[in-house]
């Protein structure tokens, strides 16, 4: 996983690795992130993020149904100001 901008700041790192042997739901990924970063600030930022699975936007998909395959990259992009 890669965190950008405010998500990176809230996490205190560029990203996290969550090794899995089989596909897991985006909801399960987010639960694991919450365990890695118990400070609720990161989860509050992630709630506002656009999410890419590889190069595919997935933020509007059902996180319980969206399966993340092993070795995939998730990117969390917070809203940003500007034009």
Say if 46 falls within a structural domain: yes
23 domain residue, yes or no? yes
| pLDDT at 12 (0 to 100) | 96
Mean pLDDT (10-residue bins), the chain, 83 residues = 96 95 97 94 94 96 97 94 56
Q: Is residue 7 part of a domain?
A: yes
Is 28 a member of any domain?
Answer: yes
Answer whether residue 66 is part of any domain. Answer: yes
**Residue 65, burial from CB neighbour count under 10 angstroms (0-12, 13-18, 19+):** exposed
What is the rounded CA–CA span in Å between residue 42 and residue 34?
A: 8
83 belongs to a structural domain: no
User: In degrees rounded to 5, what are phi and psi of residue 55?
Assistant: -110, 15
Domain limits at 51? 2-77
Q: Is residue 53 part of a domain?
A: yes
Report if residue 65 sits inside a domain.
yes
Q: Give the CATH number, domain containing residue 21.
A: 3.10.20.30
Q: What is the value of pTM for the model shown?
A: 0.89
């Amino acid at each position: 996983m890669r965190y950008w901008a405010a998500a990176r700041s809230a996490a205190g790192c560029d990203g996290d690795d969550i090794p899995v042997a089989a596909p897991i739901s985006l909801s399960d990924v987010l639960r694991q992130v919450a365990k890695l970063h118990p400070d609720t600030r990161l989860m509050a930022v992630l709630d506002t993020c656009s999410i890419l699975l590889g190069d595919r936007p997935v933020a509007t998909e059902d996180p319980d149904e969206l399966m993340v395959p092993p070795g995939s990259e998730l990117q969390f992009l917070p809203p940003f100001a500007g034009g």
